[in-house]
Amino acid sequence: MHEYPPNSQLLKDRVILVTGAGSGIGQAVSLACAAHGATVILLGPVQRELEEVYDQIEEAGGPTPAVFVMNLETAEEIEFEGLAATLGQEFQRLDGLLHNAAILPFLSRFDDFELQAWEQIMRVNLTAPYLLTRACLPLLRESQDASVVFTSDAVGRHGQAYWNAYGVSKFGLEGMMQILADELEGSKIRVNSLDPGAVRTNMRARVYPGTDPRDWPEPAAVTGTYLYLLGPDSQGVTGQALNAQEDG
């Protein structure tokens, strides 16, 4: 799967929502999905970034994407429901949902971590994926082959010092994935998590300031596994915690 060769029309006619689509892995996966035939719904907090990804998809000749500006830290339940309602009117269904948005402001000792930072991280990394998934389930059920993918992290599968709220939020995502996959067993919706491993993103550079970013692969290097999970070749694969890199 690490060397997965996707067919050029793998995602033809599919509608896929990607959070955190304005940069990093979210941007790379959005471009890859569009290049393989999907209509991509780009969601993120910065309109300029989303519009740049939109333009890249248009210039490459991909299906016309959609842009939804949403701040997952401040969005209320009614906003997620409104988003789902709009998607229902525009697309009638959702074939893929990639939860990729996350924040990690800093690493800290447990003693020093402040409640405000804890709640901010939990809101973006865990509560927002719950609210968005719940709101979009009716649309996913309208698909003949739907996939929900949570971007995870090694620190959400084996606890490590100083990762604090971020690590706990990723443990929560893994639990959410397992519970949802079990509830939807036997349906047309599969649910999995994916640890992309060390990738050259702004978030990773902030956490590892003493490391040369050139030592990490570009986000595009891990898009193959995302395409596999979002496409029809992963039918029957559900409830799995997967890695995009061999050492992930």
Domains in the chain, ordered, with CATH?
72-243 (3.40.50.720)
Cβ atoms of 177 and 192 closer than 8 Å? yes
Instruction: Assess whether pLDDT exceeds 90 at residue 158.
Output: yes
Instruction: Assess whether pLDDT exceeds 90 at residue 2.
Output: no
Tokens encoding 167? 């690590």
Cβ atoms of 193 and 152 closer than 8 Å? yes
Instruction: Assess whether pLDDT exceeds 80 at residue 82.
Output: yes
In which element (H, E) is residue 118 found?
helix 115-122
Three-state secondary structure call for residue 228: helix
pTM, 2 dp: 0.93
The Cα 146–Cα 130 span in angstroms is: 17
Q: Tell me if residue 4 is catalytic.
A: no
Instruction: Assess whether pLDDT exceeds 80 at residue 96.
Output: yes
Residue 161: what pLDDT? 92
Instruction: Assess whether pLDDT exceeds 80 at residue 172.
Output: yes
What is the average pLDDT across 107-123? Answer: 91
Instruction: Assess whether pLDDT exceeds 80 at residue 173.
Output: yes
The Cα 48–Cα 198 span in angstroms is: 26
Neighbours of 246 (CB within 10 A): 8
Residue 109: what pLDDT? 87
Neighbours of 59 (CB within 10 A): 8
Residue corresponding to tokens 């649309």: 139
Residue corresponding to tokens 């959005």: 30
Strand ordering across the sheet containing 189-195: 66-69, 39-44, 15-19, 96-99, 146-151, 189-195, 241-243
Residue % of the chain over a pLDDT of 90: 78
**pLDDT tens digits for range 38-60:** 999 999 999 999 999 999 999 99
The residues, ordered by sequence, that sit 6+ positions from 25 with a Cβ below 8 Å of its Cβ are: 100, 151, 196, 199, 201, 219, 222
Cβ atoms of 49 and 67 closer than 8 Å? no
Three-state secondary structure call for residue 41: strand
Task: Give the pLDDT band of residue 248 (cuts 50, 70, 90).
Answer: very low
Instruction: Assess whether pLDDT exceeds 70 at residue 72.
Output: yes
Task: Give the pLDDT band of residue 175 (cuts 50, 70, 90).
Answer: very high
What is the average pLDDT across 23-33? Answer: 95
Residue in 54, 162, 166, 208 annotated catalytic: 166
Cβ atoms of 37 and 231 closer than 8 Å? no
Q: How many CA atoms lie within 13 A of 137 on its CB side?
A: 12
**pLDDT tens digits for range 131-148:** 999 999 999 999 999 999
The Cα 143–Cα 91 span in angstroms is: 11
Cβ atoms of 180 and 148 closer than 8 Å? yes
Residue % of the chain over a pLDDT of 70: 92
Task: Give the pLDDT band of residue 212 (cuts 50, 70, 90).
Answer: low
In which element (H, E) is residue 146 found?
strand 146-151
